[in-house]
């Protein structure tokens, strides 16, 4: 196999940019939601939980189509954002990031939620008796103790985002340099005569990225356990 071509590099860098932005934007929402699901009881909690997990079980093409209807140029939210804030999603890399963020969200939230659930609530009580207001308890005790889980969620979300295909191609199509990620580049290449070698190279890149992310997530999970035991 020969070297990675400029066109392939474009797809790889775009994938990285899309996945990094998707993960960074999704993380605060993920932490807030994980905390809500782990620590609060409220009406409609199971429904909210189900909605968060929906992208995991819906056909990605359905999620992509729903995104198109909502965030497209003529969509309810998309139209508003384009007219008032100048943010356009359809057929842009930002749309790819949105699709990847939505699709990876369940995977991003899950480790965060589990790590918050694993924190001994009595430590939070102790913090309260020492004069910490609830938001300070969150930032000085809950979040630091959940940090390895938060990072694990980010890594998993990132890995999922970088491999996302169905929702992305449905929502923002497959435009080289703008919305053509590694996955959609591979899809185009295997439909092209003589595209096998290039597709093979991108397949290897995908495997390396995914494997690296899984190993990183596992490492963070082990750190989380050590942290909770005070070592």
Partner 1 sequence: MLRVDIEKQLGEFSLHASFASEGRAIGLFGASGAGKTSLVNMIAGLLRPDRGTIVIDGETVDDTAAGIHVPAWRRRIGYVFQDARLFPHLNVAQNLDYGRRMNRLPPDPFQHKRIIDLLDIGALLDRRPGKLSGGERQRVALGRALLSKPRLLLLDEPLGALDEGRKLEILPYLVRLRDEANVPMVYVSHDGAELRQLATQIVLLKQGRVTSFGGVKVLT
Shortest CB 221 distance to partner 1, Å = 16
Q: How far is CA 190 from CA 109, 184, 196, 223, in A?
A: 33, 10, 6, 41
- Kindly give, in sequence order, each residue whose CB lies less than 8 Å from that of residue 159, ignoring residues fewer than 6 positions away: 107, 209, 210, 213, 214, 217
Tokens of 191: 């439909």
Half-sphere exposure in the Cβ direction for 182 (13 Å, CA): 27
Pick 31 or 209: Cβ nearer partner 1? 31
Number of residues that bind partner 1 (CB under 8 A): 24
Among 2, 46, 191, 231, binds partner 1 (CB under 8 A): 231
Give the residue from 189, 209, 191, 207 showing the smallest Cα distance to 199.
189
- The secondary structure element, H or E, covering residue 55 is helix 45-57
Pick 134 or 212: Cβ nearer partner 1? 134
Indicate the SS3 state at residue 230. coil
Binding mask 93-132 for partner 1 (x = CB under 8 A): ---------------------------x-xx-xxxxxxxx
Q: Looking at the chain, how many residues does it have?
A: 231
Shortest CB 19 distance to partner 1, Å = 29
Binding mask 132-151 for partner 1 (x = CB under 8 A): xxx-xx--xx--xx------
Cα first-last separation, the chain: 47
Shortest CB 51 distance to partner 1, Å = 33
Shortest CB 23 distance to partner 1, Å = 24
- Kindly give, in sequence order, each residue whose CB lies less than 8 Å from that of residue 61, ignoring residues fewer than 6 positions away: 166, 167, 170
Shortest CB 223 distance to partner 1, Å = 11
Shortest CB 43 distance to partner 1, Å = 22
Pick 124 or 164: Cβ nearer partner 1? 124
Among 36, 62, 69, 228, binds partner 1 (CB under 8 A): 228
Pick 12 or 31: Cβ nearer partner 1? 31
Let me know: does 201 contact 4? Beta carbons within 8 Å.
yes
Give residues in contact with partner 1 (CB under 8 A).
120, 122-123, 125-134, 136-137, 140-141, 144-145, 227-231
């Amino acid at each position: 196999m020969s070297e990675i071509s400029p066109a392939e590099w474009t797809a790889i860098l775009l994938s990285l940019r899309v996945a990094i932005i998707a993960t960074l934007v999704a993380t605060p929402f993920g932490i807030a939601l994980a905390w809500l699901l782990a620590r609060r009881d409220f009406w409609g909690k199971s429904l909210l939980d189900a909605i968060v997990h929906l992208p995991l079980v819906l056909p990605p093409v359905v999620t992509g189509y729903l995104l198109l209807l909502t965030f497209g140029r003529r969509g309810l939210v998309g139209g508003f954002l384009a007219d008032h804030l100048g943010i356009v999603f359809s057929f842009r890399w930002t749309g790819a990031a949105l699709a990847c963020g939505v699709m990876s969200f369940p995977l991003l939230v899950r480790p965060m939620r589990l790590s918050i659930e694993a924190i001994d609530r009595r430590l939070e009580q102790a913090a309260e008796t020492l004069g910490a207001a609830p938001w300070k308890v969150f930032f000085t005790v809950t979040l630091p103790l959940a940090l390895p889980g938060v990072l694990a969620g980010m890594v998993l979300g990132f890995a999922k985002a970088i491999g996302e295909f169905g929702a992305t191609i449905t929502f923002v199509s497959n435009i080289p340099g703008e919305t053509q990620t590694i996955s959609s580049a591979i899809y185009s290449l295997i439909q092209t005569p003589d595209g096998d070698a290039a597709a093979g190279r991108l397949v290897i890149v995908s495997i390396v990225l995914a494997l690296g992310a899984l190993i990183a997530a596992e490492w963070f999970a082990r750190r989380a356990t050590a942290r909770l035991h005070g070592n």
